[in-house]
Structure 1
Amino acid sequence: MSDPAAQPDPASRASHAPALSPRTVVVTAGRPPHEPDQPLNTPLTPASTYVAGGDVEYGRYGNPTWSAFETALGELEGGRALAFSSGLAAVSTVLGLVGHGAKVVAPRHAYSGTIMQLADLESRGRIAATLVDVTDPAAIAEACQDAALLWLESPTNPALEVVDLAAVVAAGHAAGVHVVVDNTFATPLRQQPLSVGADIVVHSATKFIAGHSDVLLGALVVSDPQLLDELKKRRDLEGAVPGTFETWLALRGLRTLAVRLDRAEANAQVLVERLREHAEVGEVRYPGFGAIVSFVPTRGPLAADLLCRSTTLWVHATSLGGVESTFERRRRWKSEAATIPEALVRASVGIEDVEDLWADLDTALNGLASA
């Protein structure tokens, strides 16, 4: 079995074959060769130990199922991927590369797990963290002047702010910092940060990549082979490796990402239009793409909590990116930024019939007036 670091360079393949649409790559990448009696899908390989003399030797260093997933995700992002046991394991691995006492610039609105990791590292004197408004390019550029790492999300979680990635990545590099982009919300079907110069792309593959609310998995994608080697060494050393079954499920889910995302995004756009006209909704945030919508009920946080308990189709749950529609009031979590409105509801729109979703949501919203 080949090491993930030895995966063929997507650019070299592109020079010998016509470029494929990402909608095709998501289905075809990482498959076994088209030869007689080969399976269409890479089999699940539950192995902890390998016969000596090859490239792997031990189950912490590699697995054919991992490699298939990593090949597929790497091709989608235009780089080379590594799978991790969770999105936070991937985040931790990147932050572990930051030098002692170095400064990390990150969004003030971002995935709470990332913000909590930054706060924990800062409290122990490992790093200095500066949180910025990522819609203010001047503030980002100023913060980067003495930094080692710039962490970005676009859209941000849960504020759904959109960053001009090309401009901000360029500004970060001009200041001499490495740039990381969490691409969980957009997915590689809506943006590819490596193509505009990002050094590392992060995914919580738990979300849209796997897509069925049954997997914990993370991933990193890079273009630089030396950086890939360093990240793999950290994964090997720290043991933040993915489960084989989880990786197989994530690859299985990845195959339908294009159709799932198209359907969920179309649903989200219909719901956004209707929410903006609803008397019980004061603010709607939507970046114009993707399946995440945030909105603020006019009657405040108690009404938002009641809304999340009053639906029959929409599920009150904290995760996102599954085929089912979920939502929650984000400030119910103490870790959420104080600059997020108290009543803001983050909704992950699924693939159900949009009229059923709207009927359920509209009924619950209208019920707030008489509560």
Structure 2
Amino acid sequence: MTADAPDHLTDHLASMGTGTRAVHLGRPPHVADQPLNEPITPASTFVAGGDREYGRYGNPTWSAFETALGGLEGGRALAFSSGLAAVATVLDLVGNGAKVVAPRNCYTGTAMQLGDLEARGRLRTELVDVTDTAAVVRACEDAALVWLESPTNPALEIADLPTIIAAAHEAGAYAVVDNTFATPLLQRPLESGADLVVHSVTKYLAGHSDVLMGAVVTADDELHGVIKGRRDLLGAVPGTFEAYLALRGLRTLHLRVERAQSNAAELARRLGDHPAIEEVRYPGFGGIVAIVLAQGAMAADLLTHKTRLWVHATSLGGVESTFERRRRWKAEPATIPDALVRLSVGVEDVDDLWEDLRVALDDLT
């Protein structure tokens, strides 16, 4: 059901389960000979007289994806060319010299954008430990925007979203949550009062390591208009093929997240008993696990080159299992242990994933 093509299911989907909504939101109406999927519309120009006019302002393929994601998050979504394009657009809401509160451990791209903006005098940043709720609340007092991740990337820390969001609003600040790790299946920050939700669609939403895309979701019509206006002006729009693939991936999000989460929980349990592991970090939900190798950074690097199934790669959220030592990136904060390996657990058979890891870990002991 795209925004301009309502269907008889629309009124009923809101009361149905997330899996059902993931499958059915954003489809064309059930009319004879209508395609089941929104087609790819490779158009840069539209006939005048409607809302689109030009390819930078909208596209039916984007609209279908936006309808589906917005319905899952409980707001209105806007698709972007990448997750960082979405991040940049949201940070553009902050006035010159104003303060942004953000996790000390957060997505590297977000941290780098904040660092760049601060270095150029555009804004001020206060980095906080999101697990220290009282400290975060104090930091909110003079903030213009409070940026949250929960779980954080890659430390997997959990923030008290309702309390911190309330503190941000009391200070007159926007509250933004990057929901990439949890997805709207496991966490819906708008229901906790967040003004904006950001996604790297590249990760779990698209889910097949073949799309570069981002999104912003809000339940505030005025904010939606502001963000869309910035997207229109800056041109940070996705390709239609990317939007088509992202929506196709979204159809199986509930199945992939359920399997990845089940695998991650089981691997976290088994990893905790291995002598090569000093620490296992798993927040109790989602498909990301972090481990700290007892023998340090060299052992962590060796691990990522010893497996057959697990792929050494920097992204996450795909059907295949990937991992990397995060501190191999110079921009990763010093608060992340040097020997921490982030595991993005895929949907393979868990026993195969464990055996591949176990053999590699045994070689390190």
TM-score of the aligned structures, taking structure 2 as reference length: 0.97
Report how many aligned residue pairs link the two structures: 362
Query: Take 2:239 and 2:155, find their aligned partners in 1: how far apart are those partners?
Result: 32
The letter for the 1-side match of 2:33 is D
Query: Take 2:303 and 2:224, find their aligned partners in 1: how far apart are those partners?
Result: 45
Query: Take 2:305 and 2:224, find their aligned partners in 1: how far apart are those partners?
Result: 44
Matching residue within 71, 92, 95 for 2:91: 95
Please list every run of 5 or more consecutive structure 1 residues that lacks an aligned counterpart in the other structure. none
Q: Look up the match of 1:172.
A: 168
Q: Look up the match of 2:199.
A: 203
Question: Could you tell me how far 1:171 is from its partner in structure 2?
Answer: 1.5
Determine helix, strand or coil for the equivalent of 1:188: helix
Matching residue within 93, 97, 111 for 2:107: 111
Matching residue within 197, 211, 214 for 2:210: 214
Query: Take 1:309 and 1:17, find their aligned partners in 2: how far apart are those partners?
Result: 46
Q: Look up the match of 1:225.
A: 221
Q: Look up the match of 2:158.
A: 162
Listed as ranges, the matches of 1:1-371 within 5 Å are 19-369=15-365
Question: Could you tell me how far 1:173 is from its partner in structure 2?
Answer: 1.1
Identity %: 68
Query: Take 2:138 and 2:261, find their aligned partners in 1: how far apart are those partners?
Result: 35
TM-score of the aligned structures, taking structure 1 as reference length: 0.95
**CA RMSD of the aligned region, Å?**
1.5
The letter for the 1-side match of 2:114 is L
Query: Take 1:20 and 1:235, find their aligned partners in 2: how far apart are those partners?
Result: 32
Question: Could you tell me how far 1:142 is from its partner in structure 2?
Answer: 1.1
Determine helix, strand or coil for the equivalent of 2:135: helix
Query: Take 1:60 and 1:95, find their aligned partners in 2: how far apart are those partners?
Result: 21
8 Å contact from structure 1 (residues 23, 258) kept in 2: yes
Per-residue CA shift, 1:196-218, capped at 9, x if unaligned?
10000000000000000000000
8 Å contact from structure 2 (residues 13, 21) kept in 1: no
Query: Take 2:51 and 2:351, find their aligned partners in 1: how far apart are those partners?
Result: 53
Specify whether residues 360 and 46 from structure 1 end up closer, same or farther in structure 2 by C-alpha distance, changes over 3 A only: same
Question: Could you tell me how far 1:18 is from its partner in structure 2?
Answer: 6.3
Per-residue CA shift, 1:302-331, capped at 9, x if unaligned?
000000000000000000000000000000
Per-residue CA shift, 1:8-52, capped at 9, x if unaligned?
9xxxx66x7760111111000000001111110000100001111
8 Å contact from structure 1 (residues 103, 127) kept in 2: yes
The letter for the 2-side match of 1:152 is L
8 Å contact from structure 1 (residues 315, 325) kept in 2: yes
Q: Segments of 4+ in structure 1 off by > 6 A?
A: none
